[in-house]
Structure 1
Amino acid sequence: MGELVQTALEFPAVLFTFALLVVLVFWVLVVTGVVGLDDDELLSVPVAAAVSLFVAVAWFVTLAGTALFTGGLARTAALAVALAGGWLSGRLLLTAVRKALPAAKAPSRTDFVGRTCVLRTSTVTRDFGQAEVHAEDGSSAVIQVRQTGTDTFRAGGTALIFDYDAEGEFFWVMPYEGEL
């Protein structure tokens, strides 16, 4: 056991020995619940795993290089191989995870259908009208709106978006008297 510790504390293994200790402490804290990985970011766990894999592979390769070689040039070469091997293993892990995860749905104008909007023009007709709508992420957009009937709309009033006309690039709205 003493030889392992001594080898782990020699160049180039020492560069990754302390990084490996940090990685191990990190994962112990994650498993015990002291540190949480953000579930909203799908790549937070895979990135942490890829960095951990990079450090583990690089540590193992430099440890083997330190144990096998005594010359400085050979150990430096082992460091280069460790960096390349660690990077490759982390990259392969991330690529595999990205392929396994479902592709994120691209935002679409139809995402506004079913949402309420605040009218920005004093009237809304079959040919004219604008409103402001808020997306799920909290951002807002000014959109072109139209109505099918003869309802009376006023600036600052609330309307419900019930359809999107892709050809005309506008939204169909109707009066809405609920709370936002």
Structure 2
Amino acid sequence: MGEFFAAALGFPVVVLSILLVVVVAYWLLVAFGAADADWVELDIGGVPATVGLSLLVVLSWFACLVGAVLLTPSTLLGAGVLAGSLVVGLVLTRLVMAPLKRLFPSDPPASRLDFVGRPCVIRTGRVTQTFGQAEVTAADGSSALVQVRQAGQDPLRAGSEALIFDYDADGEFFWVAPIWAGPTHTLGDH
């Protein structure tokens, strides 16, 4: 056990041992709720930066430890072992992160609530409290035909525009209200 600590605390491994202590302390704080797991907003290959950097440090530390034990490097060779272990750690991190991407989806799944607040075009002859359909365009440019209802008696007819303002999950329809352009005035009108 003494040889392990001598190698882990000797040059070049000690450089990565310090980073390893920081990584372990960080994940312990996350485990106890004292830190947020997403403190870095970057992602590395589809995986949050905190996970990617942690993997890089752990894998580089292990590669450096193996290199230091096998080669018992001098100062110059130790710098080479450190650089080589970082390259090995980077390559292994990229390999490990590929299957981890599936655990971190990049976009939340589409939801019907995404349509709330969007304009729509009425496609049925009328919209009542119990009947109606409209076409709405999603943020990605795709369109959908949805069931709509209105609380009032406004004349919502085919081709008129309305605003989706709520979703009724029980009835699986959207509440809409007409979009009124209002009166138009020119400079000559008083």
TM range (shorter): 0.5 to 0.7
Residue type of the alignment partner of 2:21: L
SS in 2 for 1:11: coil
Question: Over residues 94-136 of structure 1, what are the superposed CA-to-partner deviations in whole Å (9 max), with x where a residue is unaligned?
Answer: 32222454453799xx98744266xxxxxxxxxxxxxxxxx8x
Instruction: From the two aligned structures, give the one with the greater helix fraction.
Output: 1
Question: Over residues 33-90 of structure 1, what are the superposed CA-to-partner deviations in whole Å (9 max), with x where a residue is unaligned?
Answer: 1112249x79597432221121111112222222232333432332122111111122
Distance, in Å, in 2 between the alignment partners of 1:62 and 1:6 is: 13
Distance, in Å, in 1 between the alignment partners of 2:80 and 2:35 is: 36
Number of the residue aligned with 1:84: 87
Residue type of the alignment partner of 1:19: L
Kindly indicate whether the alpha-carbon contact (under 8 Å) linking 1:47 and 1:94 is maintained by their aligned counterparts in 2: no
Distance, in Å, in 2 between the alignment partners of 1:161 and 1:66 is: 65
Kindly indicate whether the alpha-carbon contact (under 8 Å) linking 1:46 and 1:94 is maintained by their aligned counterparts in 2: no
Kindly indicate whether the alpha-carbon contact (under 8 Å) linking 2:52 and 2:93 is maintained by their aligned counterparts in 1: yes
Structure 1 segment 119-138 matched on structure 2, within 5 A: none
Task: Give RMSD over aligned pairs.
Answer: 4.1
Number of the residue aligned with 1:56: 58
Number of residue pairs the alignment of both structures matches: 130
TM-score, normalised by the number of residues in structure 2: 0.51
Distance, in Å, in 2 between the alignment partners of 1:149 and 1:50 is: 53
Distance, in Å, in 2 between the alignment partners of 1:37 and 1:49 is: 9
Residue type of the alignment partner of 2:28: V
Q: 1:54 to 1:111 in 2, by over 3 A?
A: same
Number of the residue aligned with 1:18: 18
Distance, in Å, in 2 between the alignment partners of 1:17 and 1:78 is: 14
Unaligned residue ranges in structure 2 (runs of 5+): 120-138, 140-155, 166-175, 181-190
Structure 1 segment 1-80 matched on structure 2, within 5 A: 1-38=1-38, 46-68=48-70, 69-80=72-83
